[in-house]
Amino acid sequence: MTITAHAPAAPAKKSLFDTLEIDTRLLGMIGAFVFLCLAFDFATDGRFLTPRNIFNLTIQTVSVAIMATGMVFVIVTRHIDLSVGSLLATCSAIMAVTQTSILPDMLDLGIGHPLIAPITIVVGLIAGTLIGAFQGFLVGYMLIPAFIVTLGGLLVWRNVAWYITNGQTIGPLDETFQLLGGINGTLGASASWVVGLIAVAATLWALFAARRRNIAHDFPVKPLWAEVAMGALFTAAILGFVATLNAYEIPAARLRRMFAARGEVLPEGFTAGYGIPISVLLLIIVAIAMTVIARKMRLGRYIFATGGNPDAAELSGINTRMLTVKVFALMGFLCALSAVVASARLTNHANDIGTLDELRVIAAAVIGGTALSGGIGTIYGAILGALIMQSLQSGMAMVGVDAPFQNIVVGAVLVAAVLIDILYRRRMGVRT
């Protein structure tokens, strides 16, 4: 092949970011996030960027971030889902009743039986998926606008949850179930390092495999130093994250209780870090799975094609109606997963769980660069968007901003983020 021979005179100089092939939009978001963190850290005299606060930030972000990844697909296909917060509540209510009453009493498993948590989670996930698929059916086959279906769903599922529980708070939830909530279930320092090293190995292998594939097909590759720099950057980020979570130490009183529960005595000078929370690991798995779907599977290809041009997708033989059902079913599944994390973190199911989450989730996806006109959006962007929203919220709370101002700022930031995005895309022209 003589591709290079045909190439128009290459621009003399490529910028550093072009060479590294980093998305400048992502870079802007990371920049904004870092600025936000540093500003809050300064304003709180260094209390914002402590291992403890970073740990809390990550576990508070998980629930919204999981749903935001699904919302990316929904918005990319030019739909919207306003019911996610209510759907989360219904799934949470179903799971709360399942694990505290149906399984232990009616099926006689007894409180604390090891099978309660897995059965409960499966029941919840099935419920969420079915409800999502039903809403997708109404949108895809009955052709009711998603806005209307899910606006109705917002009311319906919020109150189905209320009806299921009679409005009562149900708790405490199953002990094993609570492991998925965050602070009650962490990997510990050594297991966290193992996970971190596996992640590093997988990342480096992915970079290497991509390069080898490009060379095999004679495609242009970036210079070797750029690949090495990217690899180093990812490695540092992953290991830094693990080190930070490990640095948050379990309080001595809690350690003493943990040892006492095993009939041992806390040794003098013994310390242990929390490490990666299981819920965060769950989010990472969801993020990877959703990214693989988006980039490497037909489902994702069809989702983006449908968002870019629904008619073209239809004429290319894609069953766009079924696709809508699948996208909403996936959204429902992720709502149920978020319901597990959210209720486990609170250790109980309360009537107001997930209230206003639909707005947080949509905001996270949109701040993360998902275009409401469809066809454009990334999973990592949505997660970063969720992280920015959560940092803003808890940072302002730490600084002591009055509650009304907190919401005013969050709302203004959402609008400003979209404005910046529009201006950015306009400057880039059609090149998105």
Partner 1 sequence: MTGSSPATPLVELRDISIAFGGVKAVDHVTVDLYPGEVVGLLGHNGAGKSTLIKCLSGAYQKDAGQIFVNGEEVEINNPRDARRHNIETIYQTLALADNLDASANLFLGRELTTPFGFVDDSRMEAETRRIMGRLNPNFQKFASPVSALSGGQRQSVAIARAVYFNAKILIMDEPTAALGPQETQMVAELIDELKRQGLGIFLIDHDIHQVKVLCDRAAVMKNGKLVGVVKVDEVTEDDLLGMIILGKKPDQLAA
Interface residues with partner 1 (CB under 8 A) are 1, 3, 6-8, 213-214, 216-219, 292, 296-298, 301-302, 304-309, 311-318, 375-376, 430-432
47 vs 296, which CB is nearer to partner 1?
296
Rounded distance between C-alpha atoms, residue 218 and residue 335, angstroms: 43
Sequence-separated contacts (24+) of 10-17 with Cβ below 8 Å: none
CA-wise closest residue to 280 among 159, 375, 396, 386: 386
Q: How far is the CB of 281 from partner 1 (least distance, A)?
A: 23
The tokens describing 339, both together, are: 């319901």
26 vs 322, which CB is nearer to partner 1?
322
Q: Is 19 exposed, middle or buried (0-12, 13-18, 19+ CB in 10 A)?
A: middle
Q: How far is the CB of 221 from partner 1 (least distance, A)?
A: 12
The tokens describing 244, both together, are: 């930070």
Rounded distance between C-alpha atoms, residue 300 and residue 63, angstroms: 22
Q: How many CB atoms lie within 10 A of CB 52?
A: 13
Q: How far is the CB of 391 from partner 1 (least distance, A)?
A: 30
H runs (alpha helix) in 79-115: 84-97
Rounded distance between C-alpha atoms, residue 107 and residue 113, angstroms: 11
188 vs 308, which CB is nearer to partner 1?
308
Q: How far is the CB of 301 from partner 1 (least distance, A)?
A: 6
101 vs 309, which CB is nearer to partner 1?
309
Rounded distance between C-alpha atoms, residue 356 and residue 396, angstroms: 19
Q: How far is the CB of 324 from partner 1 (least distance, A)?
A: 16
Rounded distance between C-alpha atoms, residue 83 and residue 90, angstroms: 10
H runs (alpha helix) in 166-272: 175-178, 189-216, 224-247, 252-261
Q: How far is the CB of 231 from partner 1 (least distance, A)?
A: 20
Q: How far is the CB of 76 from partner 1 (least distance, A)?
A: 9
Q: How far is the CB of 375 from partner 1 (least distance, A)?
A: 4
The C-alpha R_g of the chain, in whole angstroms, comes to: 23
Contacts of 397 (CB under 8 A, 6+ apart): 406
What's the distance, Cα to Cα, between the start and end of the chain in Å? 28
170 vs 313, which CB is nearer to partner 1?
313
320 vs 355, which CB is nearer to partner 1?
320
Cis peptide bond N-terminal to 404, omega within 30: no
